[in-house]
Amino acid sequence: MKRWIMDEFDIQLSFEEANKRMHLEEEEDIALMRSLCDRAVELAKPKAICRECAVDSIQGDQVILSGTTFESRVMAENLKNTQTVYAYAVTCGREVDDWSHKETDPVVGIWLDMVKEMILGKAIEQFFTRLAHEQNIQAYATMSPGSGNLDVWPIGQQKKLFALIGEVEQNTGLRLTESCLMLPTKSVSGILYPSKEGFITCMLCTRAHCPNRRAPYDPSKREALSEA
């Protein structure tokens, strides 16, 4: 099964765009973050790794992807008509992350986190677009372990996902801790699969007031899954 590494991204992020998240108004803060934002973009070297996997079998809540067994009712339902998935990990990169951790002011640290998150967002978008183009995938959906309610795809299965992708740290610098935290934290992993219907974990997530919500909670979807 094929594996790809992507380390060439075109990250463009202006202070004005970043400030839509940071909401800075004081001139001093704006001047500081304008220069730090430029520096972050200059340093950022996002990386992505991806492995093509076969859907070997689906039985009940168990899904076997290229020999690795995952347990998730939602994944079993989402992949029931799918033969191939792409297991992936994307990171903002150690370069910008290590640099940002030298910042000693915790408030500036929070703003830098937002900048890194936006860099990651742009890297993810470019990676998904390139993968879909190269694999001729017209429409796709993604799932990530630990995203949304605990039962959607339990975070503990992150280790199996990393093992399935293989040599993630060697190729991207992205490390998984014993407690399944990804370092740099501005990283994301999961599976991408062809899907006309689409899927957004937020539809199954009951978390209130989440600033990153991309779709409203849909109790009927959750009920349909528990009956499936």
User: For residue 53, what is the enclosing H or E element?
Assistant: strand 47-59
Q: Using CB under 6 A, which of the segments 30-38, 87-95, 177-185, 210-218 binds ligand SF4?
A: 210-218
148 binds ligand SF4 (CB under 6 A): yes
Tokens of 219: 């109790």
Which residue from 141, 161, 162, 144 is spatially nearest to 153, judged by alpha carbons?
144
Q: Are 197 and 152 in contact (CB under 8 A)?
A: no
Our CB check for ligand SF4 shows the closer of 21 and 207 to be 207
Assess 202 for contact with ligand SF4 (CB under 6 A): yes
Is residue 212 part of the contact set for ligand SF4 (CB under 6 A)?
yes
Coil, strand or helix at 228: coil
Q: Is the distance from CB of 121 to CB of 141 less than 8 angstroms? A: no
**What is residue 176's three-state secondary structure?**
strand
138 lies in the binding site for ligand SF4 (CB under 6 A):
no
Q: Considering only 55-63, 99-107, 177-185, 199-207, which stretch makes contact with ligand SF4 by CB under 6 A?
A: 199-207
Chain centre distance of CA 141: 12
For ligand SF4, the binding residue among 56, 166, 207, 219 (CB under 6 A) is 207
Structure tokens at 3: 């594996």
CB of 148 to ligand SF4, least distance (A): 4
155 binds ligand SF4 per the rule CB under 6 A = no
Measured from the CB atom, is 180 or 202 closer to ligand SF4?
202
Give the footprint of ligand SF4 on this chain (CB under 6 A): 147-148, 201-202, 205, 207, 210, 212-213
